[in-house]
């Protein structure tokens, strides 16, 4: 995304970004562009993830930490939420509300968020070489037996920020 890449000026009443801002290195440009295209009193909603706010049980905590550390490289800002209130205000927004939505998976089912995520992480981390192939395979293979034993636990937070462009 580049400044002035959108040929809009103060036209929009709502601008939403769900888990996109953390992928963009110059995230402050995202905020300033959102501000630019919103009408006065126009609203914005950012939904962001903090990868530190993740609880994923493993019998091998060290291996879990190594895999998640490598996974952090998949986005530009793995801890964006903690800086969002400040960034929004710096871009000119009025912060109206902020809250947390928690994802909780107590089973490793095909339709669970964390099972899908685990295969994405395995593919990404496998291409980086930070974790050995054998450790990565053991990491992924642990979830099914934990699930069968009733010991599976995954939780992740989504931080939601609602802000508006102050009226002129």
Ligand X SMILES: C[S@@+](CC[C@H](N)C(=O)[O-])C[C@H]1O[C@@H](n2cnc3c(N)ncnc32)[C@H](O)[C@@H]1O
Q: Which residues of this chain interact with ligand X, rule CB under 6 A? A: 1, 18-20, 23-24
Q: Compare residues 23 and 153 and give the one whose CB is closer to ligand X.
A: 23
Look at residue 1 and give its three-state secondary structure: coil
Token pair of 88 as six digits? 């929004």
> For residues 3 and 40, which CB has a smaller minimum distance to ligand X in the complex?
3
Q: How far is the CB of 24 from ligand X (least distance, A)?
A: 4
Rounded Cα distance between 104 and 107, Å, is 9
Backbone angles phi, psi at 156, to 5 degrees: -145, 145
Q: Which residue is nearest to ligand X (CB)?
A: 23
Which one, of 157, 159, 156, lies nearest residue 88 by Cα?
159
Provide the minimum distance between the beta carbon of 113 and ligand X in the complex, in angstroms, as a whole number.
Answer: 11
* Coil vs helix vs strand at 44: strand
> Least distance (Å) from ligand X to the CB of residue 145?
28
- For ligand X, the closer of residues 20 and 160 by Cβ is 20
């Amino acid at each position: 995304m580049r400044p002035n890449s959108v040929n809009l000026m103060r036209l929009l009443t709502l601008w939403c970004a769900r888990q996109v801002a953390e992928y963009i290195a110059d995230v402050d440009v995202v905020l300033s562009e959102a501000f630019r295209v919103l009408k006065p009193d126009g609203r914005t909603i950012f939904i962001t993830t903090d990868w530190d706010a993740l609880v994923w049980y493993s019998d091998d905590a060290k291996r879990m930490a190594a895999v998640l550390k490598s996974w952090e490289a998949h986005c530009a800002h793995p801890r964006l939420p903690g800086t969002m209130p400040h960034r929004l205000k710096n871009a000119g927004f009025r912060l109206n509300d902020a809250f947390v939505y928690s994802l909780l998976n107590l089973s490793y089912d095909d339709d669970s968020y964390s099972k899908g995520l685990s295969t994405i992480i395995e593919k990404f981390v496998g291409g980086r070489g930070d974790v050995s192939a054998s450790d990565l395979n053991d990491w992924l293979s642990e979830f099914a037996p934990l699930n069968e034993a009733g010991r599976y636990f995954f939780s992740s937070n989504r931080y939601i920020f609602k802000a508006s462009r102050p009226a002129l």
